[in-house]
Amino acid sequence: MESKPSEISSSKMFGGYNKRYKHFSPTLGCSMTFHIYFPPSPSPSRKFPVIYWLSGLTCTDENFITKSGAQRAASSEGIALIAPDTSPRGLNVEGEADSWDFGVGAGFYLNATQEKWKNWRMYDYVVKELPNLLSEHFPQLDTSRASLSGHSMGGHGALTIYLKNLDKYKSVSAFAPIVNPINCPWGQKAFTNYLGDNKVAWEEYDATCLIGKFHDVSATILIDQGEDDKFLHDQLLSHKFAEACKTVGVPLLLRFQPGYDHSYYFISTFIDDHIRHHAQALHLP
């Protein structure tokens, strides 16, 4: 099966192009899609730093590209946006689509250890396979200058991947992230099924737990959280992560935004701040 990415759509936006690709993923054992927004290039030799955007529950690689409006700031800052899908698709594992918060669309950016879900290896896909694929096939991208951002489950992914790979990423930000999944229903459901009953294994994918282990963070972590987000108090638990960062002295800018909810209306309102946050880190020599 073809592992080389093939272009399946292209649309011009703010002088650059949204391009969607399909490829076979050996890591996940199925075909996957991803989007790249290429900003306008002043010269053929220009190489763009990248921001990986990790989406939330039920999302695909399309939500961020079509709803966020991030391309305007990415175009002006000269940064490429990479939006992968959120889980393997098409494997037809029994029960994979039975609930919206688990299985298809809910990969949680981890490497599953339970046999039934052995193909759910979104951590390795995002951290290893996708960057290697981009480096090999897209010479205009400089994947050595990379940052992470994400929303909800994707915010969880961005934070945990960043903390465990501080040598690979320049900065991280998140919108309404699930920061303490071992203590919320979404996380407990996903971790029990993907990782089994070993709670120590769960902590390896919990940003609030990880901040104590990987606290050598110099770049400020930016998080925006809507005050009217219905998931804030039961699922997202922002205060837990804030307390953990304060304990170990990690620089965190946690902004509670009055009146905003969990939607892309919220994301599109503040996405320019996040692109500029990453641009500052990515354009440093």
Q: Which residues are tagged catalytic?
A: 152, 229, 262
Cα–Cα dist 261/146, whole Å? 28
Let me know how long the chain is.
285
**Which value, to the nearest 10 degrees, does the dihedral of the CA atoms of residues 10, 13, 16, 22 take?**
-30
| Angular region, 103: left φ>0, alpha ψ -120 to 50, beta rest | left
**Is residue 177 within 8 Å of 162, Cβ to Cβ?**
no
279 to 54, 172, 173, 260, 273: CA distances (angstroms): 17, 11, 12, 25, 10
Cα–Cα dist 141/134, whole Å? 7
49-65 burial code (b ≥16 CB/10 A, e <16)? bbbbbbbbbebbbbbbb
